[in-house]
Structures are given as C-alpha cells and as structure tokens.
C-alpha cells in the first residue's frame, strides 16, 4: 500500500509538472490561429524574400533565426539560401563578404565591420554558421551618417553626395509615401500630427524611409532568381507588410514575400488583438524573457 501511495504521489507530481510547462515561444498565423512550424517552413522555402522582424534584444528570436536559417538551407537546393542583415551597412559589405567566404578572421571582422554591441551573443553564431556552410551574407542597411544627415536636414541634404556614396543607398531621389501606416504612426509619435508630410517629424520619417528603401533595394540586388533571402531586421521595418515590404512591392510587385514578427506578451496561449495581422507569422515570446542587453 505504501508503494502504491508513493506511485500515486509521483504520478500526480508528473502531471502537475506537465500542466505547468512553460514554452519559450508560440507560433501563430496572421489570423491568430496556431501555426505549425514545419508548415510555415515549407511556405517560407517557396518565398523569394523572408523578412524576419526581430526584437533586437530577445534571445529566443535570435535562436529561432538560426533554426529557420538551418532548416531553410535543408529544404533549398545548394546555393538556394542567402542571408541579409539590417545590422551591417553597405559600406562594410566587402568585409561581410570576405568574412562569409572565410577570407577574414573573426577578430579583424569585429574590429572593422562596426558590428552592433550585441553581435557576440546574437549574430555571431548565425554568421559563423553561414561561413561554415558557404552561405552568402549581404549587409543591406544605409550607412548611419547618411540617415543622420537626413534626420537633421531632409533628403535634400543627399543631393550633393559623390557617386561613390550614392552607390551605398537606394537610387536617389527617393519618393516617400507618407501615408504608409508605419510612417503615420511615427508622425504621431514625434509630434507631427496628421499632416500630409508628418509635420515636425518629416525628416525623421525620411530617414526611416531611406533605411527601408535601401534595405529593400539591396535585398533585391543581393539575391538571384530561385534563391530565398532570409533577411533579419527590426520588426518595425516590416510589420503589417509596411516599410521594407512596401518598397519591395513598389519595385517588384511579383516578388513573393513572407514576413515574421516577434512580439512579447504576458500570456502566450492567445495572440493579443494588437498583434493580429502583424505579419504572415507571429512569434510570441514571454515578456519577462531575459534580454541580451
């Protein structure tokens, strides 16, 4: 009887542990229905461009980016996957390409390529995997000094750039669509009101547009027909098929684009209303997850 009682106690404890399990993330489709990872992966493998909208300091997002890259490589033909990163700017692309090809040591790359402060924990594993598996890597972002120049003085400040500098950006002049939802939100956030050009926020919106359009331009330039580019960027650059997506569609309407967005919620069981239709797939992570910075 004592052994039976002990067995029952152990079974109850096991059941309690199972019910108390804490998943690190949950995956949803745009309409808030639970999504299957393998089905999502098969869908992504058919895309020309996959925009993975991350929370820059979330370790689950960075781990999942690496898993998606590995699994896409498994599904694609050799040479069928290329990586794109917001985190590296166009002027350091020669260094990015050398590193991916194994022609530049880690120490030199980290010293010269201006990696983000969280590079060691969040992006180095992905780039090292890419180098080991001969995956091409493309830095897509506009150099920071140019974005800062626009934020302080508008896109007109780029008119005097020499040809070598202009080659690091989307072809100019850039037409900004101030009616994009993300830009309208920025106008409200930065006190621009509802004016057609965002009022006082106009230059900030133009700087954001320069980044979005430049990334879109080099995403298209960085992939060949039949390839899938997995591009990592902050979620705001691609949420609600806005930002980068809008410029991709403007330049190449037939391009097959899929988006993911990482969001933090207190409860993971159900997608919150504000996160419905945020992306083709929404990755929900705990809002109390340890951050990388």
Q: What is the pLDDT of residues 206-246, one digit of tens each?
A: 999 999 999 999 999 999 999 999 999 999 999 999 999 99
Average pLDDT for the chain: 92
Domain count, the chain: 1
- In tens, the pLDDT along 7-40 reads 444 444 444 334 567 899 999 999 999 999 999 9
Confidence check: pLDDT of 89 > 50:
yes
Contacts of 79 (CB under 8 A, 6+ apart): 227
Q: Is 194 within a domain? A: yes
Write b or e for each residue in 96-116: b if 16 or more Cβ atoms lie within 10 A of its Cβ, otherwise e.
Answer: bebbbeeebeeeebbeebbbe
Residue 195 reports pLDDT greater than 70: no
Q: How confident is the model at residue 119 (pLDDT cuts 50, 70, 90)?
A: very high
User: Any idea of the CA torsion for 83, 89, 90, 93, to the nearest 10 degrees?
Assistant: -60
Tens digit of each residue's pLDDT (9 = 90 or more) over 236-292: 999 999 999 999 999 999 999 999 999 999 999 999 999 999 999 999 999 999 999
pLDDT value for 270: 96
73 in a domain, yes or no?
A: yes
Q: What is the pLDDT of residues 155-184, one digit of tens each?
A: 999 999 999 999 999 999 999 999 999 999
Q: Which domain holds residue 170?
A: 26-286
Whole-number Å distance between alpha carbons of 102 and 85? 18
- Residue 293 domain flag: no
Question: Is the pTM for the entire model greater than 0.85?
Answer: yes
In a domain, 75, yes or no: yes
Residue 87 covered by a domain: yes
- For β-strands 281-286 and 26-29, DSSP reports them as antiparallel
Find, among 219, 218, 214, the residue nearest to 176 by Cα.
214
Q: Buried b vs exposed e over 238-276: b needs ≥16 C-beta within 10 Å?
A: bbbbbbbbbbbeeeeeebebbbbbbbbbeebeebeeebe
Q: Is residue 213 part of a domain?
A: yes
Dihedral angle over CA of 271, 277, 281, 287, nearest 10? -40
CATH number of domain containing 220: 3.40.50.11550
Band (pLDDT 50/70/90 cuts) for residue 191 is confident
User: Is the residue at 292 inside a domain?
Assistant: no
What distance, in Å, lies between the first and last C-alpha atoms of the chain?
Answer: 54
Q: What is the mean pLDDT of residues 179-204?
A: 78
């Amino acid at each position: 009887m004592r052994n039976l009682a002990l067995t029952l106690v152990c079974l109850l404890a096991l059941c309690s542990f199972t019910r108390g399990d804490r998943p690190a993330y949950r995956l949803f489709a745009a309409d808030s229905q639970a999504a299957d990872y393998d089905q999502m992966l098969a869908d992504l493998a058919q895309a020309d461009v996959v925009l993975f909208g991350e929370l820059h300091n979330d370790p689950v997002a960075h781990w999942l980016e690496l898993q998606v890259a590995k699994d896409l490589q498994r599904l694609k033909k050799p040479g069928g996957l290329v990586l794109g990163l917001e985190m590296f700017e166009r002027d350091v692309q020669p260094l990015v390409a050398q590193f991916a090809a194994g022609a530049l040591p880690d120490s030199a790359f980290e010293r010269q390529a201006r990696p983000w402060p969280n590079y060691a924990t969040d992006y180095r594993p992905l780039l090292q995997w890419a180098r080991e598996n001969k995956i091409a890597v493309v830095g897509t972002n506009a150099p920071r000094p140019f974005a800062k120049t626009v934020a302080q003085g508008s896109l007109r400040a780029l008119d005097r750039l020499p040809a070598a500098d202009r080659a690091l950006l989307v072809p100019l002049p850039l037409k900004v669509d101030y009616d994009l939802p993300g830009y309208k939100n920025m106008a409200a956030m930065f006190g621009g009101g509802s004016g057609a050009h965002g009022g006082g926020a106009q230059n900030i919106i133009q700087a954001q547009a320069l980044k979005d359009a430049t990334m879109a331009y080099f995403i298209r330039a960085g992939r060949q027909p039949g390839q899938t580019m997995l591009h990592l960027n902050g979620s705001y650059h691609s949420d609600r098929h806005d930002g980068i997506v809008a410029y991709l569609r403007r330049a190449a309407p037939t391009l097959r684009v899929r988006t993911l967005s990482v969001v933090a919620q207190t409860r993971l069981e159900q997608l919150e209303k504000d996160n419905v239709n945020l992306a083709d797939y929404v990755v929900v992570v705990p809002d109390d997850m340890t951050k990388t910075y």
